[in-house]
Every structure is written in structure tokens, then in C-alpha cells.
Amino acid sequence: MNELELKYGCNPNQKPAKVFAEKLPFEVLNGRPGYINLLDALNSWQLVREMKEATGLASAASFKHVSPAGAAVGLPLDETLKKIYFVDDENLSEIAAAYIRARGADRMSSYGDFSALSDECDAATAKYLKHEVSDGIIAPSYTDEALEILKSKRKGSYLILKIDPNFEPPSLEHKEVFGVTFEQQRNDIKITADCLNDIPTVNKNISDSAKRDLLIALITLKYTQSNSVCYVKDGQAIGIGAGQQSRVHCTRLAGNKADTWWLRQSPQVLNLPFRDDIKRPDRDNAIDVYVGSESGDLLDGDAWKNVFTRKPEKFTDEAKRDWIAKLDGVALGSDAFFPFGDNIERAHKSGVKFVAQSGGSIRDDNVIETCNKYNIAMAMTHIRLFHH
């Protein structure tokens, strides 16, 4: 039996804490792991491994509190995405592009994340991570240069885990709550394009790129605390709603995040006159306020002087609505059925054209009818993906 002592459990008062197994599937290359660090690491590794298998593309995830803040595959970044993600390197590797996209889905939530890579961590990825606030990383391997860069983070305490990519856990998993041990079959169901074959809507046209995005959404949801929904566009999550008791609240939360991701690409935001000394997290915070309902707090009085060289124009509600209306071709996944058409109504407002959900509600007809109203193509997967 191999075991590893942890700093503490979920909270500092929860000591002692350790992990143990017949064989630990990871090696600590730097730093000292905490309980939540390892929950993030092991969940995120499974996500990126499955996403790489399903898409054939290098994959990455940005995790916070045992749910992904973002997940993506390594498609090239256009100039706008490079600007909003603070990218200076013109020669990004596929795995670097994947992580930058994953981190960029919801930069507010990714602050202090745990990073996961499906492929070897290279210098390009490490250089980008060096300038981001992050708690740790898990990957199957590291180049010597990448390892040297990452070891310099957090005054040398940055957590670096090397996972055995060939490790397969036992088919049964266990969890203890209040002295009671739970046992279940591990959720090893494969998410493939075959689960998108049942399309009950009038529009049955789901392009190959949309199928890829729906698979990304579903695999992301497999490792997101339920209830959960995920909006995806061009190979990356752009809005994840996790752990809500009501599914429509998930849809709204994730939709609002998707809207914010899109608003970051508007001319109003791209042209914000930031002071040179404002760091990335402070820029993210200022942008979030600027595009949100609290924009007056930033622009009223002299508050703007803390981040801008001059006072920006107000981003009006009408201008925001006009810009969001241009968002199109978004894919939406749900970890279980949509019980009402209101979820589709909200999804439509954020440019959703493709949906994948389990089906099985007594109101499936209403959900299908709402999709038909907006010419949305919807697949029923007949797979529930609750994760707790």
C-alpha cells in the first residue's frame, strides 16, 4: 500500500489527511499537494484524457473546486482571442493553445486554478502559466525547460504532478460519508459521436464541428458537479454552469458566462485604455465589471482612474444586446434532460444552434417544439452524466 500525507483535508482544521492506494498513479515532481488539489487533479486528468481520445486533439482543462472552469482542444487562436487571453507568443503548440483556450473560457473563475494537460507540457505552455495565478498542474510528462519554468512559480512551491497515462483504476469505486461507505461502478461510459444519432428535431443537420463541440460539452459535464450545462464554441467551453439545484439556473449561469466571453471580444472591450501597470487579474476584474450590470461602479466618480488612462464610454445595455445577438453556432450540452422549454429559450439568447441532452422528460415534446421554434438541432443521447 502506497500513501501520501497531505497538508490538510478540505479545510485547514481537517487534519490528519492522506491519500493511499495499492499504487498511486501520479508522482509529485514539485510542491506539496492538498486534498482539493488532488480532487481537481484526478478529475481534470480524466476529462482531458477522454477529450483527447474523443477528438484526437490535444486537450486541456482549468479546474476550480472539483469542477472545470474551462476545457478546450488545441485549435489555433485568432488575433482577437490572443488579445483577450493575453497571448504574446506567436508560435503556440497545440497543447499550449488548448490550455490557453481552457483558461480563457472564464478567466474570473480560473483564478487560482488547477491545470490539466492531455499531452506533454512544453515550454510554450509553461511560459504562459508562469504569468497566471494557478495552484498546480497535472500532465503525463514535462520537457526539461517546462519543468524548470514551472518550478520557479509561487516561490518554488508550485505543485507539479506527473500522471501515469496508462493507469486504469478498478471498476468499483468507494466513497465514505458520515461513516457510511458508498460503492458504485465507476462511470466509464464512452462519449462518442454515436450518442448524437437520435435527433428528434426538424433540423437534423449537426455539422462535424458541431458534433466535436457537443462531445466536448458532454465530456466536460461528465466531470462537473451536477446539475450542470456547458456552452461550447469552436473547440472550447465558453460557459459552464455547475452545481445548481435548478437546471434552468445552470442554463442561465452558463449562458451569462458565455455572453461575457463574447462581450470580451467586442470593440468596446478590446479598446479599453488600460494602464500599463495593471496586471492580468485586475484587468479581468475590471472587464467583468465593465460588461456587467455594475459598470456604473467602475465609471462613476474617479474609480476608473485606478485601471484606465482615460474614462471609457459606458457600454450600454442596448450595445451589449446588439453584440450578443451576433454570437452564433454555439453548442450546448446538459448532464441530464431539460424538463422545460425555458432552458432552450435562454440558450437561444446566447447563440445556441446545437443541443445534446439525455431526453426522458415527460415534457420532451415541449423541449423539441421550442428547439423547432428556433431551428435548433437537438440530439437525445439517452445518457445521464450526474457527477458528485
Per-residue pLDDT tens for 74-99? 999 999 999 999 998 778 999 999 99
The answer, yes or no, to whether residue 294 has pLDDT greater than 90, is no
Q: Which residue has the higher pLDDT, 348 or 313?
A: 348
Domain 172-262+324-380: CATH architecture, name and number where available: 3-Layer(aba) Sandwich (3.40)
Q: Where are the domains of the chain?
A: 2-163, 172-262+324-380, 267-314
**Do 2-163 and 172-262+324-380 have matching folds?**
yes
What's the pLDDT at 301? 82
Q: What band does 297 get if pLDDT is binned at 50, 70 and 90?
A: confident
Counting every residue, how long is the chain? Answer: 388
What's the pLDDT at 186? 94
What's the pLDDT at 302? 85
Domain 2-163: CATH architecture, name and number where available: 3-Layer(aba) Sandwich (3.40)
The answer, yes or no, to whether residue 142 has pLDDT greater than 90, is yes
What's the pLDDT at 91? 84
**Mean pLDDT estimate for the chain:** 95
Q: Identify the three-state secondary structure at position 68.
A: strand
The answer, yes or no, to whether residue 205 has pLDDT greater than 90, is yes
Q: Three cell numbers at 279?
A: 496586471
What's the pLDDT at 163? 98
The answer, yes or no, to whether residue 373 has pLDDT greater than 80, is yes
The answer, yes or no, to whether residue 355 has pLDDT greater than 80, is yes
| Residue 303 DSSP label | G
The answer, yes or no, to whether residue 359 has pLDDT greater than 80, is yes
The answer, yes or no, to whether residue 223 has pLDDT greater than 90, is yes
What's the pLDDT at 300? 80
Active-site hit among 162, 227, 320, 353 = 227
- List the one residue out of 109, 180, 134 whose CA is nearest residue 30: 134
What's the pLDDT at 138? 98
Cis-peptide into 16, omega within 30 deg:
yes
Q: Which ranges of the chain does DSSP label H, i.e. alpha helix?
A: 35-55, 79-84, 94-104, 123-130, 144-151, 208-222, 247-263, 267-270, 280-291, 295-299, 317-324, 342-348, 364-373
166 in catalytic set: no
User: Grid coordinates 450545462 are at which residue?
Assistant: 229
What's the pLDDT at 384? 96
227 in catalytic set: yes
174 in catalytic set: no
149-167: average pLDDT: 96
What's the pLDDT at 298? 81
64 in catalytic set: yes
Q: CA-to-CA distance for 342 and 375, rounded, in angstroms? A: 15
- Contacts of residue 245, defined as CB under 8 A and 6 or more positions apart, other chains included, come to 227
The answer, yes or no, to whether residue 293 has pLDDT greater than 80, is no
Q: What band does 131 get if pLDDT is binned at 50, 70 and 90?
A: very high
321-342: average pLDDT: 96
Q: CA-to-CA distance for 255 and 244, rounded, in angstroms? A: 14
Active-site hit among 30, 52, 64, 343 = 64
The helix/strand count (H/E) of the chain reads as 13, 15
Specify the pairing of strand 26-30 against strand 352-357: unpaired
